[in-house]
């Protein structure tokens, strides 16, 4: 994967409603890490985020970024 393709989400982050400042920067960096990792693994980003959101709100098991064996 090229660096330009991996960093593609950085252009869209300011338009996604992510807050400015230190907490917004941390949130953006975590989201970019998640999306880049999942793309490299060929996994669906939205599905992962949905599973994480549901697990957080229902007290379930969080999905893993580690590749499945």
More confident residue, 24 or 50: 50
For residues 23-50, one letter each, b for 16 or more C-beta atoms within 10 angstroms of the residue's C-beta and e for the rest, the string is eeeeebeebbebbbbbbeeeeeeeebee
State CA 35 to chain mean position distance: 4
Q: Return the residue matching tokens 């917004």.
A: 24
Question: How many residues in the chain?
Answer: 69
pLDDT at 12 over 50: no
pLDDT band at 20; cut points 50, 70, 90? low
Residue 14: CA atoms inside 13 Å, Cβ hemisphere, count? 1
pTM: 0.64
């Amino acid at each position: 994967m090229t660096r330009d393709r991996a960093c593609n989400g950085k252009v869209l982050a300011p338009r996604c409603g992510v807050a400015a400042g230190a907490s917004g920067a941390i949130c953006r960096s975590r989201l970019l890490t998640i999306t880049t990792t999942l793309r490299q693994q060929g996994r669906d980003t939205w599905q992962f985020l949905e599973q994480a959101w549901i697990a957080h709100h229902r007290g379930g098991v969080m999905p893993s970024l580690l590749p499945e064996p």
